[in-house]
A = this chain, B = another copy of it.
Amino acid sequence: MSRTDAAPGLPPTAALLPVTVDVVGLTVRAGVLQVLLVRRLLEPFAGALALPGGFVLPDETLEAAAARELAEETGVAPPGHLEQLRTYGPLDRDPRGPVVSVAHLLLAPAFGLPAAGGDAVEVAWHDVGPLLSRGGGGRTLAFDHERILADGVERARAKLEYSALATAFCGPEFTVADLRAVYEAVWDVQLDPRNFHRKATGTPGFLEETGRTTSGGTGRPAALYRLAAAAQDPGAVVLNPPLMRPDA
């Protein structure tokens, strides 16, 4: 590995390492938790599924790099909530040598992807369940991305309990049932609609009525809510008391 002759001022013991960002992009579609994956075109792991990501450029922050890679690989500026997850490496990750990867977590509504099939990178939503079930056999994702995905899913599960991050999976306006579907998909549990409704609408600083209602579906129209206006970042909203996931 090269030494720091290119970075004047740093001590000669400083090693330079390649730094990448990887993104665990989660969404809820059709009541199921899904993750954004790309098909790798190059070695190593050519043909395998992997998390979107790439190398950090010298003049950008880590979060900017994550957002840029997402935009490049999906073709759209991704909506939703982006936060840092944790950092992996640099050993035993990439057969080419030591690489540090700063993983990020994106929680977003199911946004459209450019029709896969051109010569662009193949990128699509995949159900999370089969990727994490240990019974499924060997490695299903490239590098250590299976572990990073597991860490990302666990982070998302934990954060739904005590923050307003579930709203990041919804559009700007949503019903209590929409929100409950997010909790049920991420936690993989069934929640009582009546108790959930009382808890969600009763938690101060969480939801705000828009005044509008849904129409067209079967059954009574539902009131539309948005994230409380005081909250800029849904990840910063502290739910007190928290919405606890069931033990089972």
- Residues of chain B within 8 A (CB-CB) of A61 are 89-91
Helix, strand, loop or mixed for chain A's interface? loop
Kindly state the separation between the CA atoms of A215 and B139 in the bound complex, as whole angstroms.
56
Q: Complex: how many Å from CA A240 to CA B49? A: 36
Is B19 within 8 A of A17, CB to CB? yes
Contacts of A99 in B (CB 8 A): 10
A83-111 CB contacts (< 8 Å) to partner B: 84, 86-87, 89-91, 96-100, 102
Assembly CA distance A87 to B20 (angstroms): 12
A192: Cβ under 8 A from any B Cβ: no
Please measure, in the bound complex, the distance between the C-alpha atom of A172 and the C-alpha atom of B59, giving whole angstroms. 47
Known A-B contacts A62-B89, A91-B60; A55 and B11 likewise in contact (beta carbons under 8 Å): yes
Cβ A18 vs Cβ B7 within 8 A:
yes
Q: Does A14 contact B (CB under 8 A)?
A: yes
Is A201 on the interface with B (CB-CB < 8 A)? no
Q: Are B57 and A15 in contact (CB under 8 A)?
A: yes
Q: How far is the CA of A16 from the CA of B247 in the complex (A)?
A: 45
Complex interface: chain B residues within 8 A of A19 (CB): 15-17, 19, 90, 100
Give the interface residue-count category, chain A. Answer: 35 or more
- B96-A10 in contact (CB<8A): yes
A56 touches which of B15, B84, B96 (Cβ 8 Å): B15
A4 contacts partner chain B, Cβ-Cβ < 8 Å: yes
Considering only residues 34-69 of chain A, those with a C-beta below 8 Å from chain B are 54-62
Q: Interface centre among A11, A16, A86, A89, by most B CB within 10 Å?
A: A16
* Given A16-B2, A17-B16, residue A58 in contact with residue B9 (CB < 8 A): no
**Smallest CB–CB gap between A10 and chain B, Å?**
6
* A156 CB to nearest B CB, Å: 16
For the complex, give the distance between the alpha carbons of A87 and B54 in Å: 17
A87 CA / B100 CA spacing, docked (Å) = 11
Pick the contact of A96 from B7, B58, B60, B96 — CB < 8 Å? B7
| Contact surface of A with B, Cβ cutoff 8 Å | 1-2, 4-11, 13-20, 54-62, 84, 86-87, 89-91, 96-100, 102, 240, 247
The 4 A-B residue pairs whose C-beta atoms are closest, nearest first, are A2-B6, A16-B16, A9-B96, A1-B58
